[in-house]
């Protein structure tokens, strides 16, 4: 879609994740109802980026811990196309550990100025080295050093310890390219359900759901 911030074809991950993704892809690419949902999302995503929203790509990401407890945080949507929705993070973070034990995840986007919400449910899998490298190289050097310095989601005893790690990695990579840490990469959420919510008067909003049932996508409406 036009809103892609980078392009890449590589898809990887461990064998189980890969199989999951292949299954969804096969259904996605040929299904006209799914194609309609993808086009609709692409249109909104592009439109949202023309408004005065500071972070139109910000989305809530929900993952589930081993004990069944859901948790949420904001991440940035870096690519969205027929294959799914991509964000980048530290795979050793809390969310990364949760995804490793349970790949089911959900996303929520709300574009205030458009009066539009999109909710996605699906299965997350790593995007693979080639795709992660492309995005890594587009990041500012400071963020690259930061990714090395931050033991994301681990307890931080003092702020000085983080500052010290930043200094150490700045020295380590002085005068050379900052390589991508192996534990820092993208995840793609292959959707099984996408809901579009459009703000209406008197709270009579319009809700349209696209859902994968067995081997085909269906579209239906919900009461607001
Ligand atoms: C606007 C915004 C964008 C963010 N984007 C990302 C992102 O793309 N990737 C990321 O790992 N964290 C991002 N964060 C930080 C996460 O919200 C979160 O604090 C961090 O990933 C650790 O989450 P976890 O401990 O649940 O794994 C962002 C935060 C905000 C407020």
Residue whose CB lies within 8 A of the most ligand 1 atoms, among 89, 93, 144, 146, for a mutation test: 89
The mean per-residue pLDDT over the stretch 132-152 comes to: 97
User: Is residue 113 within 8 Å of residue 97, measured between CB atoms?
Assistant: no
Residues forming the active site: 203
**pTM as predicted:** 0.90
Residue whose CB lies within 8 A of the most ligand 1 atoms, among 64, 76, 97, 100, for a mutation test: 76
Given a cut of 90, is residue 16 above it in pLDDT? no
C-alpha span between 109 and 13 (Å, rounded)? 26
C-alpha span between 191 and 106 (Å, rounded)? 9
Ligand 1 centroid, distance to 220 Cα (angstroms): 33
Supply the residue whose CA is at minimum distance from atom 28 of ligand 1. 75
Given a cut of 50, is residue 13 above it in pLDDT? no
Residues 6+ apart with CB under 8 A from 85: 59, 77, 79, 107, 120, 122, 188, 189, 191
What digits encode the pLDDT tens for the residues 112-130?
999 999 999 999 999 999 9
Banded model confidence at residue 14, pLDDT cuts 50, 70, 90: very low
C-alpha span between 147 and 133 (Å, rounded)? 14
User: Is residue 76 within 8 Å of residue 57, measured between CB atoms?
Assistant: yes
Ramachandran angles phi, psi of 119, nearest 5°:
-120, 130
Ligand 1 centroid, distance to 204 Cα (angstroms): 33
CATH architecture of 15-140+181-222: Roll (2.30)
User: Is residue 107 within 8 Å of residue 120, measured between CB atoms?
Assistant: yes
Ligand 1 centroid, distance to 74 Cα (angstroms): 5
Residues 6+ apart with CB under 8 A from 91: 99, 100, 126, 183, 184, 185
Point out the ligand 1 atom lying closest to the alpha carbon of residue 94: 27
Q: Classify 2 in phi/psi space as left (phi over 0), alpha (psi -120 to 50) or beta.
A: alpha
Given a cut of 60, is residue 8 above it in pLDDT? no
Q: Of 39, 127, 50, give the one whose Cα is nearest residue 85.
A: 127
- CA angle, 79 then 177 then 152, to 5°: 60
Given a cut of 70, is residue 18 above it in pLDDT? no
Point out the ligand 1 atom lying closest to the alpha carbon of residue 74: 17
Point out the ligand 1 atom lying closest to the alpha carbon of residue 63: 26
Element containing residue 210 per DSSP (H, E): strand 206-213
DSSP code at position 22:
H
| β pairing state of 216-222 and 70-76 | unpaired
Spell out which residues line ligand 1, taking CB within 6 angstroms: 55, 58, 71, 73-76, 87-89, 93-95, 152-153
Banded model confidence at residue 189, pLDDT cuts 50, 70, 90: very high
Point out the ligand 1 atom lying closest to the alpha carbon of residue 76: 8
Supply the residue whose CA is at minimum distance from atom 31 of ligand 1. 74
Q: Which two tokens stand for residue 186?
A: 């993208």
What digits encode the pLDDT tens for the residues 66-123?
999 999 999 999 999 999 999 999 999 999 999 999 999 999 999 999 999 999 999 9
- Alpha-carbon separation of residue 198 from 147, 157, 203, 206 (angstroms): 37, 44, 10, 5
Banded model confidence at residue 27, pLDDT cuts 50, 70, 90: low
- Domain ranges in the chain are 15-140+181-222
Q: Of 183, 220, 218, 194, give the one whose Cα is nearest residue 84.
A: 194
3-state secondary structure of 71: strand
Q: Of 32, 222, 208, give the one whose Cα is nearest residue 116.
A: 208
């Amino acid at each position: 879609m036009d809103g892609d911030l980078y392009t890449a074809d590589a898809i990887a991950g461990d064998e189980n994740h890969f199989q999951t993704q292949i299954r969804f892809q096969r259904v996605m690419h040929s299904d006209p109802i799914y194609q309609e949902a993808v086009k609709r999302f692409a249109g909104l995503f592009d439109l949202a980026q023309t408004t005065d929203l500071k972070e139109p790509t910000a989305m809530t990401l929900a993952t589930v811990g081993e004990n069944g407890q859901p948790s949420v945080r904001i991440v940035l949507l870096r690519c969205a196309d027929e294959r799914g929705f991509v964000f980048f993070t530290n795979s050793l973070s809390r969310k990364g550990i949760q995804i490793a034990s349970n790949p089911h995840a959900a996303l929520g986007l709300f574009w205030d100025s458009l009066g539009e919400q999109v909710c996605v449910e699906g299965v997350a899998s790593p995007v693979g080295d080639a795709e992660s490298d492309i995005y890594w190289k587009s990041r500012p050097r400071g963020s690259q050093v930061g990714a090395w310095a931050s033991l994301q989601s681990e307890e931080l005893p003092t702020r000085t310890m983080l500052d010290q790690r930043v200094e150490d990695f700045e020295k380590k990579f002085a005068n050379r390219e900052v390589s991508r840490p192996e534990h820092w990469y993208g995840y793609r959420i292959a959707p099984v359900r996408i809901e579009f919510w459009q703000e209406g008067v008197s709270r009579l909003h319009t809700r349209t759901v696209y859902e994968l049932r067995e081997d085909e996508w269906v579209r239906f409406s919900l009461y607001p």
